[in-house]
Chains A and B, each alone.
Chain A
Amino acid sequence: MKLAIRHDTTYRYDDQVRASIQYLRLTPQESQRQHVLDWHLELPRPVPAQRDPYGNILHVLSLDEPHDSLLISAHGQVEIDTTRDCEQDSLSPLPFLRFTRLTQADEALRQFARRYCGAHRDRAALSELMFGLADAMPYSPGSTRVDSTAAEAFAVGAGVCQDHSHAFLACARSLGVAARYVSGYLFSDDSAHLASHAWAEAWIDGAWYSFDVTNGLTRAERHLKLAVGLDYLDACPVRGMRRGGSGEQMHARVQVSQQRVQAQQ
């Protein structure tokens, strides 16, 4: 499946920002399941790409001229191999066993994980867990905050894709299954869901398998991956800080569309 993405983020500040710095994970990389046909990241000034600790493509944008707005624009086309349901990795999955503040499993999450998986650590058991979480915390924008932890969202019994993914990671790790956070884009016919998306991957039988709690999907065939990490903070597309500027309005516009294969002329 070929996807075309356009992702524009605009920040407008109430006052002049004296300086700002952003960690941007807005560039997909080649993998066994996605082939990047073309990709452009437009920034106020050119910035070299680097790799972050998780191997994601990272751009660090530092601005020290006063500014009152910031436009970040990413667009391109990516071919998704919908037949592939997992990805190999040469790096050890063991670092993805640890909890973070956002993915700490409390007793409720541990019990929930045990109830669905028992002694099983296979794809079927983790799928049950995924569906269980989707039932236990229905998609409900506004029910949680960007810094809500897995345990907090689970206790509320609702959440968005970020909370779903954190809860899944907390459960999987509590079972001794290495699992990681994925941020990216989702192609969806249902326009109610944002096209920016997050899901989880778990390490089963030597490969990473996808678990999209929000959409109840165990195949990431409509998913374009941007970055992975231990949690949202590691993998989120934009993380920044600024001096000055007081209030801000952030406006993000994401369009994901499927490209029809054009007949040769």
Chain B
Amino acid sequence: MAREFYDEMYDGSGNCRSHYREFARWLAATPAEQLARRRQEADLLFHRAGITFTLYGDEQGTERLIPFDTIPRSIPAREWKTIEQGCIQRVKALNMFLADLYHEQRILKAGIIPAEQVLANDQYQLAMQGLDLHRDLYAHIAGVDLVRDGDGTYYVLEDNLRTPSGVSYMLEDRKMMMRLFPELFAAQRIAPIDHYPSLLLATLKSASAVDDPCVVVLTPGHFNSAYFEHAFLAREMGVELVEGADLFVRDEQVFMRTTAGPRRVDVIYRRLDDAFLDPLAFNPDSMLGVPGLLSAYRAGRVVLANAIGTGVADDKSIYPYVPEMIRFYLDEAPILANVPTWQCRKPAELSHVLAHLPELVVKETQGSGGYGMLVGPTASRAEIEAFRERLKANPAAYIAQPTLSLSTCPTFVEQGVAPRHIDLRPFVLSGRETRLVPGGLTRVALREGSLVVNSSQGGGTKDTWVVED
């Protein structure tokens, strides 16, 4: 199957793109053994730093190192400007959508999104109805997943508004590159990203109306696949990392147990899903949450970042409406394009999807992490037929998209350097203003031809550069 891929480093005639020229020169001048030695050093350092990742579905709970690739993904500064503006625009619209949805519901009344699709959605939280949040912000931290098609156009693949992860890899990958190859950073202007933790802390503080609020990071605990990141961010921000049992609620106020007695908590950067936050309000079996937390939250005595109920805006069944939201709330044309999407809940679109399964990517509307999806072009006939039955049994649970020919970036593999598919997740922080650090997390599908970049599915990461060219 011949497909056109956009290569990040080389153009169609094999010439190095200008923003990669400095790197290519360095790569050609550096002996192969030296590169190999540095890569081994990187593996060792990452093990020592403890950046590991637990695989879901791995019953041993074995920790595994996420492969780090030393060839960076580079983005020219003027291209980044567009991505940045596009992400800001999108996240602003999504926050406005959430505020609208939990208050006046203007967008439903205007008939732009069918009311049933939103209100009957499991992710729509009645607990948020009519609740006023400081600055009307719901998704304080968002991850926008971007991919590039054959001609290099950026598309938003999905929005992550619940507990987007991966930012620790973005930061650690940069530290590693600067440590291994300082000469690269002296030779050109690569935009810094190390201020992310301070921006995150400022964002979290600005989410509260309290002066100098007490911020904590709430983790489900060390069995969670992203525990490393929770600990990392708490340390980098200089705030406490807590588990549910470290917090308690007294008279609608959240406190943290400390050796010096209870301490009031004003902002919780929670890396715990809605259903586990409060066993008295949601899942009663949750040992991870804080009994009474919802009552404190609804009384306006504590800020949760992100807010409860943001999942209704990043649900894949709502995704097709984001360009409309941008027009509706901001009266602007979307800067970043959506991937064309068929909604299987609509009978006409379902029959199109069923007739073209081998060409399409089919995803669960509520899935994430690359689980429960079909990549038509790489699936076996049996896999396609099995998926067809699941799709027919519950069409509303699926959407389908054309298989994008994700861009590639040269990557170290066993045979040397070869192109591998990548995506990009910039992290968007919404507080007093909406901001990003330049770049984001680049994930790379290490298996040849694979289009699934999730770390749970054998993906690795690369440092992401925004370069003045």
The reply to whether A97 and B120 contact each other, CB–CB distance below 8 Å, is yes
Count the B residues whose beta carbon is within 8 Å of the partner chain — how many? 27
Q: Given B115, B128, B295, which contacts A60 in the complex, CB threshold below 8 Å?
A: B295
Residues of A within 8 A of B294 (CB): 53
Instruction: Say whether A41 faces chain B, with CB atoms less than 8 Å apart.
Output: no
Instruction: Say whether A62 faces chain B, with CB atoms less than 8 Å apart.
Output: yes
The reply to whether A53 and B127 contact each other, CB–CB distance below 8 Å, is yes
The reply to whether B291 and A53 contact each other, CB–CB distance below 8 Å, is no
Closest to B115 in A: A94
The reply to whether B126 and A62 contact each other, CB–CB distance below 8 Å, is no
Q: Given B122, B124, B250, B281, which contacts A62 in the complex, CB threshold below 8 Å?
A: B250
Residues of B within 8 A of A62 (CB): 248-251, 292
Q: Given A21, A51, A52, A95, which contacts B249 in the complex, CB threshold below 8 Å?
A: A21
The reply to whether B124 and A95 contact each other, CB–CB distance below 8 Å, is yes
The reply to whether B295 and A92 contact each other, CB–CB distance below 8 Å, is no
Closest to A101 in B: B283
Report B396 CB to chain A, min CB distance, Å.
Answer: 12
The reply to whether A23 and B280 contact each other, CB–CB distance below 8 Å, is yes
Q: How far is the CA of A107 from the CA of B124 in the complex (A)?
A: 26
Q: How far is the CA of A52 from the CA of B299 in the complex (A)?
A: 10
The reply to whether A95 and B292 contact each other, CB–CB distance below 8 Å, is no
The reply to whether B120 and A239 contact each other, CB–CB distance below 8 Å, is no
Q: Given A19, A58, A64, A240, which contacts B295 in the complex, CB threshold below 8 Å?
A: A58
Residues of B within 8 A of A60 (CB): 249, 252, 292, 295
Report A43 CB to chain B, min CB distance, Å.
Answer: 12
Closest to B281 in A: A23
Q: How far is the CA of A23 from the CA of B291 in the complex (A)?
A: 9
The reply to whether B126 and A97 contact each other, CB–CB distance below 8 Å, is no
Counting chain B CB atoms within 10 Å of each CB, the highest count among A23, A47, A97 belongs to A23
Q: How far is the CA of A91 from the CA of B294 in the complex (A)?
A: 21
- A53-B126 contact, Cβ under 8 Å, with A21-B292, A62-B249: yes
The reply to whether B119 and A21 contact each other, CB–CB distance below 8 Å, is no
Residues of A within 8 A of B126 (CB): 53-54, 95
Q: Given B115, B121, B128, B284, which contacts A233 in the complex, CB threshold below 8 Å?
A: B284
Closest to A91 in B: B129
The reply to whether A241 and B120 contact each other, CB–CB distance below 8 Å, is no
Q: How far is the CA of A19 from the CA of B248 in the complex (A)?
A: 10
Q: How far is the CA of A54 from the CA of B281 in the complex (A)?
A: 11
Residues of B within 8 A of A239 (CB): 280, 284
Report B448 CB to chain A, min CB distance, Å.
Answer: 42
Closest to A178 in B: B120
Instruction: Say whether A98 faces chain B, with CB atoms less than 8 Å apart.
Output: yes
Instruction: Say whether A140 faces chain B, with CB atoms less than 8 Å apart.
Output: no
The digit string for A8-48, where 1 denotes a CB below 8 A from any CB of B, is: 00000000000101010000000000000000000000011
The reply to whether B291 and A241 contact each other, CB–CB distance below 8 Å, is yes
Residues of B within 8 A of A48 (CB): 252
- A230-265 interface (Cβ within 8 A of B): 233, 239-241
Query: Can you identify 14 A-B contacts, CB atoms within 8 angstroms?
Result: A19-B248, A53-B294, A54-B126, A60-B292, A62-B248, A62-B249, A64-B248, A92-B119, A94-B116, A94-B120, A95-B119, A98-B120, A98-B121, A241-B279
Beyond known contacts A23-B280, A50-B298, A51-B298: 5 more, CB 8 A cutoff:
A48-B252, A60-B249, A60-B252, A62-B292, A94-B115
For the complex of A and B, the 6 pairs showing the least CB-CB separation, nearest first, are A94-B119, A53-B127, A53-B126, A97-B120, A60-B295, A241-B291
